[in-house]
Amino acid sequence: MTTPATQPVSGKRVLRWVWRVTAAVSVLLLLSLSSLSAVLATHQGSHWLLARLTALMNNNVQTFEYQSAEGTFLRGMSLNGIVWRSGNNQIAIAQLHSRWNPMTLLDGEFILESLRIAGLQIDWDASATPEASPEPLILDNLLNAFLPLPISVRLNNARIDGATIRYGEQMFSLLALAIDGSLSGQTLQLNQLSVDTELLDVETRLSMTLQSPYPVNAEISWQYARPLLENNVPPSGNLTLSGDLDRLGIDHQLSGPGELQSTGTVMLDLARLLNARISTFSPSLDIDHTLASMAAPGTDQLLINSLTLRTQGTPENLGLFAAAHVTATPSAGLSLESDINLRATVRGTQVSIEELALRTATGLLLVEGNVDWTEGLLMELAYQLNDSASDSYLANLPENMSILNLSSRGDIRVQQSSAPGSALQIAFVTPQISALLNDYELTGRGGFSVDGERWQVDGFELQNGDNRIELSALLDNASDAIQATLMVDAPVPGAFYPDLQGQITGQARLTGTLENPVIDVDLTANAIALGAFRAPEITLRGQNRAGMNELELNASDITFLLGEQSESIERVMLRLRGQPDAHSLLLLVDSSLARARINADGALNNGAWRGRLLSSEIASDYGQWQQSSPADLQFQVNDIAISKVCWQMQSTRLCAEANLANSNLLTASASLNDVPLSVFNLAQSEQIIADEAGVTFGGDTTFTTPWRLPFFSLPAGMAVDGQLTLDASASGPINDWREMSININTNSRGDFYIRSDLPDEALTPDDAETTAYVNHFVWPSLRFDANQDNGIWRSSAQLAFTQADRDNTLPPLRGAAEATVQMDSDQNLNGQLQLQFDDLGWIEGLVPQLSQVSGSLNGQLNLGGTLQTPSISGDVNMADAGMNVQALGIELQGIQAALNSDGPNRFLISGMVNSGTGSLNFSSEIDRPFSPARALALSIAGTDFEVADLPDFKLNISPDIRITGDAQGINLSGQLFVPLLNAQISTLPETAVDVSSDVVIVQIEGTSEVRNADLAEQAVLGGIPMSGELRLVLGDNVRVAGFGLNAQVRGQLDISQRPDATPLTYGELEVVEGSFATYGRTLTIEQGKLLFMGSYDNPAIDIRAVRQVENMRVGVQMNGTIRNINSSLFSTPTLPDGDILSVMITGRPIAEIGTQQDGNALIGAMTSLGISQSQGITSQIQNQLGLDAFSIYSSGDVNNSRLMLGKYITPRIFIRYAVGLFETENSLAIDYSVNDRVKLEAKSGQTQSIDLTYTVEQ
């Protein structure tokens, strides 16, 4: 009964032990955590643990120490003055700060929130040899020992600021390194890896699996801090990697000097190497590189249009395959476009060039050889050149020059040992050069070598036809010794240059040293001719006298063309004497343009020439100029300096100075002071005006004979006096003038004289011999200023003048104009022109044909737009103007005119003028005046406007005309009414007489004058097409008198003009009443009409003229056209035609005439009137006068008509007399018939001749 009681007791016991064990474990755990917290979470515990760790790290091999520590291992530590040493290797950290959060371990992740290292310095001994590991490294085993981690590790903000790494003699500096990444399982993720150095910045993003073959993807961008080449941006790039450590694909974009794209694969086999599957590292490449079009760095003379390069192989055997297309323009006029192909192999420190080919359209250059830099540099190359047309590259080569079939071969060797102080050796040899130069065979050979300080030209020879050139030279830089010989023998220089003629022979020898050379030169050129240039002899002589070299160039009797003018140089001599460190120069020139003498000295020192322009004298048509004082000169590679130098001519002074720095930065100034304006005068006009006006030109009586501008002078009757001053300066870069600062200032004051003829009606009996007077204008200021700064031009001009009254009874006339213009760097314009002329009387002095000029002109014009398309707007008004036009005998009054513009593309011009009892109004509109699409519209209307009022010519018009025009042509339409015309014509202009209708114009020279009809098919207004419809109406008071005609005319004509066509005229002009006088007799015009049916110069005519003589009424009826008149005679009572014409001309029948004068008058009437019955009339006259021959004949036109009278004295002797009907030319001839075959003829007139004629019948 006791056993059941023990079971509860055993259960309680078990529970009690469980509780006791649990309590013990809890206490133990609590004690452990308390101990760990005491160690990790307290300063004392963390320092105690850090000391224990330090003790463990210190041993006989290495030491570790730090100066101070802060923080705890639980939240983070900060250490200062950390130093680790192992042998000669040392790592020192000035400060290390770390911070982490242990609570993240509960989430299975350790996060290092911050790790900062400052002042990292690593010194590593490069001579130390690491001990060889007995077993090879297997990376997978190493990684698999702790990967994958049980928790992930994240590094949020790790940074190293300032690090120096010294490895042996090499030292690297690191400004900053930042890392942000994580390791989870076997995956390494770098979100940011930044490396900053003084020269290079790198940003990397990477994802990598830490298990063979280690797949990786990375993006790397880098930026270099400095440009690799001058005037280029620093290079930068973006690299993308994909693949694994055995095989990586790369894609790289380089920017900087050029845009280079590289794509391909790299076989690294790193995964296999790191896991001991292979024992050597031998990567191989297969990458294609493509370069975008660009100019070669450092020059714009070589354009790389395209370039591709393929690198394939291993570093020990790397193949290079390149192809490029380039355009080279090394100088003006030389252009070379070629394809380049390269096939080469790089083997370590050697390059084997299998083929480097440069191909052009006509030639091929092949280069092959080797380059080895294993020990120093050794380059051995051979080339072969062939080009069928080398002249195709030379754009400026004269057309008559040719270079064909150029061929050359040779070898180039460059060597320099790697030993310190070794000399560079260069050898170039070309045993063969050949070409066809200007159809002459050109051959040559030669070589060039450099051996340290010794430079040598080895036997250079060139032969072209019979011409030969030889050159040899040796320069020892160690001793500065030089020896050079040049020989030239060119009996046919045209082989070198086709237009060059003459002979050139001579030789030159140079010995001594560079500082003290000894020169011996003897070159002669005879009978030189090149185009219009001629030189009988040119010599260059050089010799050394008493240690001084003297070179002298002489030539004489040279002729050449300057423009179209032939000029000559009687003598030119250039003498250079001295040594490079001290020499003098003398230049003498005596030519048709000028005589000059220039003297200078100088010295060459350290690559710079410094000297002085001692004196210079120049005498020409522009005056005699003489240098006033010496000027310093300096020339060196990139700098030029010319101190202020001045030339004087009488009171005129010209000065200039300049400085050019760095081949680009210019500072220059020039001034021209006190130029006499009398240089613009004609000497004769100046003398006449000086005598008549009592003025002295030139400023004072001591003024010597003035000089004149040879290319320009004022017209006769004008002269100016005064002075002109000009100042100019410029500073800034010459390669871009827009960035220069430029200033130009001009100022002038003076007098203007114009000699004018007085009108006849202004003469009085007291001054009848004074037929001219001198108008005097004075301008106290004429100024022009212009400057440019930062690409903006600003200019201003101002003119003010006065004109004094001749008799000093009226106040002087004044006028002024002022203008300002600005143009910016984009050529936009902005400016103004102010006009203020309160009295226009001064125009009378400029235009002698006008008198009594009055009125005012005021206004403002605004300039805008651009230089290519300028625009003008503004207002200009002429008011209350008037003038007398003496040549027309009219007075213009009440002239009002206005020019207005409300924008840049539209101008309005309107006004009116009165003349006589009538007036004229005009208005016009001009659209887009500065555009090719410019257009004009003009209207003219008036009533009874007096155009001329002269004793023999009076004309009034009433126009209503409209004119429009544009670039395509001009159109005129409207009506011109002539109410009054009274013209008395005494002479005809030459063009009023047309050519004969039987003349055929074959060709008209551009400068030949032709008659009216020949111009009918030519364009009007100098080639501008013209069209229009114009009606010409003659009023009741239109009368024309002249050449025997006196008639009143009325009617109207409609004139039609089409572009590039003959004008068409339709209408009728009628003679209301009139008469015509001929041969002393007056015929009354009973009926007269001109009918125009298209042709303006050949109207149809219907004219009837009669004469009443006692009881006889005779007349002539003319019909047809002006060019083909048909005339017939009529009478009452009816008379024979001969009697009608005789009564009409002589007043008597033909039987009653007996004088040659009456006969000539009849013949002239028949010819001029074109009477068709003239043959019968001449027969009547012949019978009446008892002549054996009587006839009228002509050669050419009517003006060559002749009357011939003949009479047989005997049966064998015939005398004839011929007289011109319209020209005073006559001749007398006698014909004597010896027999039937032989005839003798003698003639006397303007010429005398005797002819013997022998006749043979077949």
Q: What is the mean pLDDT of each run of 10 residues along the chain (1258 residues)?
A: 47 58 53 50 74 82 85 80 86 86 74 85 76 70 81 85 85 88 88 90 92 92 85 88 92 89 92 85 91 83 90 90 90 83 92 93 93 90 92 78 88 89 88 87 90 87 89 88 92 86 92 84 92 92 79 92 87 89 91 92 87 91 88 88 90 90 87 85 83 74 60 80 87 80 84 66 41 71 81 80 58 70 82 79 70 83 78 84 85 88 78 90 84 85 90 89 87 90 71 52 49 46 76 88 81 86 86 76 82 84 85 85 81 81 75 56 52 51 61 53 70 72 65 75 74 70
Pick from 904, 924, 947: which residue ends a domain? 947
**Could you tell me if 849 and 771 lie in one domain?**
no
Pick from 166, 195, 211: which residue ends a domain? 211
**Could you tell me if 105 and 189 lie in one domain?**
yes
The residues near 658 (Cβ < 8 Å, ≥ 6 apart) are 640, 641, 642, 666, 667, 668, 669
Query: Containing domain of residue 1226, as a range?
Result: 1198-1258
**Could you tell me if 196 and 70 lie in one domain?**
yes
Whether residue 89 lies inside any domain: the answer is: yes
Helices 1174-1185, 1156-1169: inter-axial angle, 10-degree rounding = 170
| Residue 872, both tokens | 């003008």
**Could you tell me if 848 and 748 lie in one domain?**
no
Query: Residue 1018's pLDDT is what?
Result: 46
The residues near 960 (Cβ < 8 Å, ≥ 6 apart) are 940, 941, 974, 975, 976, 977
**Could you tell me if 726 and 865 lie in one domain?**
no
Whether residue 141 lies inside any domain: the answer is: yes
Provide the 3-class DSSP secondary structure of residue 568.
strand
**Could you tell me if 203 and 108 lie in one domain?**
yes
Instruction: Determine contact, residues 505/445, Cβ cutoff 8 Å.
Output: no
Provide the 3-class DSSP secondary structure of residue 806.
coil
- The total domain count for the chain is 4
Residue 669 CA to its chain's centroid (Å)? 25
**Could you tell me if 896 and 774 lie in one domain?**
no
Query: Residue 534's pLDDT is what?
Result: 92
| Residue 999, both tokens | 């003349």
Query: Residue 369's pLDDT is what?
Result: 94
Residue with tokens 């300080």: 453
**Could you tell me if 841 and 940 lie in one domain?**
yes
Whether residue 754 lies inside any domain: the answer is: yes
**Could you tell me if 705 and 771 lie in one domain?**
yes
β partners of residue 440: 437
**Could you tell me if 774 and 874 lie in one domain?**
no
Whether residue 527 lies inside any domain: the answer is: no
Query: Residue 321's pLDDT is what?
Result: 94
Integer Cα distance of 1075 and 1047 in angstroms: 6
Which segments of 114-258 does DSSP mark as H helices, in order? 139-144
**Could you tell me if 932 and 835 lie in one domain?**
yes
| Residue 703, both tokens | 């003024």
Whole-Å CA distances, 829 to 796, 833, 860, 865, 876: 13, 13, 16, 5, 20
Query: Residue 607's pLDDT is what?
Result: 78
Residue with tokens 């009586």: 701
H/E run at residue 1144: helix 1137-1146
Whether residue 753 lies inside any domain: the answer is: yes
Pick from 919, 947, 975: which residue ends a domain? 947
**Could you tell me if 69 and 207 lie in one domain?**
yes
Query: Residue 987's pLDDT is what?
Result: 64
Instruction: Determine contact, residues 657/641, Cβ cutoff 8 Å.
Output: no
| Residue 846, both tokens | 């400029």
Integer Cα distance of 269 and 247 in angstroms: 7
H/E run at residue 173: strand 170-184
Integer Cα distance of 220 and 237 in angstroms: 8
pTM above threshold 0.85: no
Residue with tokens 């390669």: 735
Q: Strands 718-733, 1026-1042: parallel, antiparallel or unpaired by DSSP?
A: unpaired
Whether residue 723 lies inside any domain: the answer is: yes
Integer Cα distance of 322 and 1171 in angstroms: 99
Integer Cα distance of 473 and 482 in angstroms: 7
Whether residue 1186 lies inside any domain: the answer is: no
Whether residue 672 lies inside any domain: the answer is: yes
Instruction: Determine contact, residues 1204/1218, Cβ cutoff 8 Å.
Output: yes
How many other CB atoms sit within 10 Å of the CB of residue 8? 9
- Identify residue 54 by its one-letter amino acid code: T
Helices and strands: H and E segment counts in the chain: 9, 68
